[in-house]
Structure 1
Amino acid sequence: MSVFLALLVLSVTIFGLFLKYRHGFWQRRGIPHEVPSFPMGDFKEWRTTKGFFEIIGPIYKKYKGTAPFAGMFLVFRPVALILDMDLVKNILIKDFNNFRDRGVFSNQRDDPLTGHLFALDGTKWRDLRQKLTSVFSSGKMKYMYPTIIKVAEDFRKVLEEKQATAVGGVIEMSELLSRFTADVIGVCAFGIDCNCLHDPQAEFVSMCKRAVIERRHNKFIDSLMEGAPKLARTLRMRQLPQEVHDFYMGIVHKTIEYREQNNMKRNDLMDLLLELKNKSDKNFAITINDIAAQAFVFLIAGLETSSTTMGFALYELAKNQAIQDKLRGEISDVLERHNNEYTYEAMQNMRYLDQVFSETLRKYPIVPHLVREAQADYKTKDPKFIIEKDMMIIVPVYQIQHDPEYFPDPEKFDPERFTEAEIHKRPACTWLPFGDGPRNCI
């Protein structure tokens, strides 16, 4: 027992000394940074009292204009917070090949639902991206449009029912929008009718919320997995709760089995992914696990992001009557030219609607930062500032999109920022809700 205790104390001491040494990384290189906390670095308040963007915001404001990037720590991992727009453009576009990977956790073998396009790196990401680009073309997405309209009609009926019984005319929209989005994704990605609009307790949407909120481990272990994803993968660690994994893998297996046995076609994402699977060759094969992972990320990346964006757009329209009136006028004019049918072509002609959503995503970006990982040492314009190999990089989307240098009076909701003339006035990469460059949102 005494030997075990001695080994434990020694191990903890060594780990503590290692962390202390790692936390001197930026100081030894003369890079501006805040003094890190032990053991979480700059992220001791993450997932407790502050969000990611609230942590990096003060650092961005303090050091912007003084350096191309500032130093941070995610537990023991050094992180470069990018402050210079030219460097942002180089990382995302010009020198993309050196910053292709995100360096986030994925484990296709033991946690197959994490093996999706967002998390994969290297040749696995490149090959899958090439295949999926054809799947997500505007032409193929158009096939799903009638299905979305059908769910939207159901949404309208449910909204009218709620309006008739709403106390004081007040309707809680956030939950309703989440259920609407869940029904759209359920039928388009998984090929199932979830009935979430009519059943607030539907298992499909409750499991999705668990996938977003819950983790398999505690905060510290989860942060270690994000800070050292390669080590976590080597240790065969898993991120998703077992019930979430079993539920969505079960849906995909049952859906594929039924469609293949009955030769069923629905013109949805599952059909398109099955086509890729059936066209697999020895150079690149799509497995059922791959299909499950892509359908799962379609859900995770689409549910709360889409519903929250719609909620914020409605909130701003309610506060800004003039903008609401202008948008309503455009919608009426376009529908009149299309026989009062909300067709795919009609939607494409609603330019001001696009501006409203662009401004919503500027003011309320769902993904407040982008993550990249350097493949090799990278020299900036200042030779003192080198982004070293395997370093984690953060592009602060929220801070850039709220920077008065690029968006004057940033807290004002103003869709006129996104006219063609205004867009051309701004530097590249100042609007990044979907990222930019070859690894932007597909």
Structure 2
Amino acid sequence: MAGNTWTAPVAPGPLDANVRVPGSKSITNRAYVLAALSAQPTLVRAPLDSRDARLMLGALSALGGSWEQAGENVLVRPLVPEGTEPTSVALGNAGTVARFTPALAGLGSRPVTFDGDEAIRRRPIAPLLNALRDLGADIEDEGRGAPPFTVRGHGGIDGGKVDLDSSASSQFLSALLLAGPSFSSGVTVRLIGDAPPSEPHIAMTLDLLRRFGAAPERAGTEFHVPPAQLACPDYTVEPDLSTAAPFVVAAAAAGGTVRIDGWPERTTQPGDWLRSLLVELGQRVSLDAGGLTVTGAGTISGTRLDLHEVGELTPVIAALLCFADGPSVISGVAHLRGHETDRLAALATELSGLGAQVRETGDGLAITPAPLHGGVFHTYDDHRLVMAGAVLGLRVPGVEVENPATVGKTFPGFVDAWQSMLG
């Protein structure tokens, strides 16, 4: 690593590696929120330790919760929202923190200001703030519909029925459902507008609510969570299958075999879709009690993919498809323009900058493989773009991945794990 770039290593030959990835960010932060809303402490086993997860724990502490490290586990104690003095929550660039914690601030009796990195101020949140107001929260944002904003707690939120446009992010819906058991009347959410992206993340939220003792119900586009006393004394986080994506596709890009230890046989994580994708791209995939095994087939098939439900995999998949035997089209991911950065613009710019022919479409990317060359791969403070640059480097000498520390958002040990995979 030199300066502020990392020279992504070229695979020395076919891979033969076992990889263990950290806990799921999406599950970890949902579990932390539900643990804080529970009636008794929760031991969260094997959680992700990353910037986003630490920001969530910091937010819960600011809101009246507490936690302590217990080896590789974290003991989370219930929120005790006491006092009336102002406080603040640091969001960093963590979408789950920005979206899941404002409702919790409404349960206390103090003004709580939410702000973070410049990038989080550009990420959409207005539909969620408006829905929380409709449910009884007192929120001041000076019309921005984005951080910074202040939630003025009045000792609880009434809840009830609300219409929500969650088309920009399924996290808006998850935020209301996770907090719903603590609202006086629970919550009933009717979705309006286009369908939310990432249906698996909605299923994940409903699954965790049930694990913590809530009784969520769904009827099409309407969701209901009644008031409940939550409890789950012991909860184990699955490995993060989206963070596993660059390792999973490495076998297809470089050849050989990569095994992902602990891949769950049944899961709500959207990253599990990688198994069927790699088969579609012509690779060999098997899953057993020990984990997932992927063996490269030597070629990668060009294809058309609708990634609406698994948009977070787009950067790594787009990088892989630059090595395909023909053109590919990724669709259904217009919402990625509102993620950590405008991921579609960033991918089109950076992949084309290294020689591929990649252009934005209305809701995705059109990718025509062409000879690639080295150069700086800018990452725009986006952890998934660091992972995409690593995939390119497997076959392209001289890929200089900018600001690799950005990957600490979800996997602080990524660079070391990647180099270990290559032996």
Indicate the structure (1 or 2) with the bigger Cα radius of gyration.
Answer: 1
Q: TM-score, normalised by structure 1?
A: 0.25
Structure with greater strand share of residues: 2
Structure with greater helix share of residues: 1
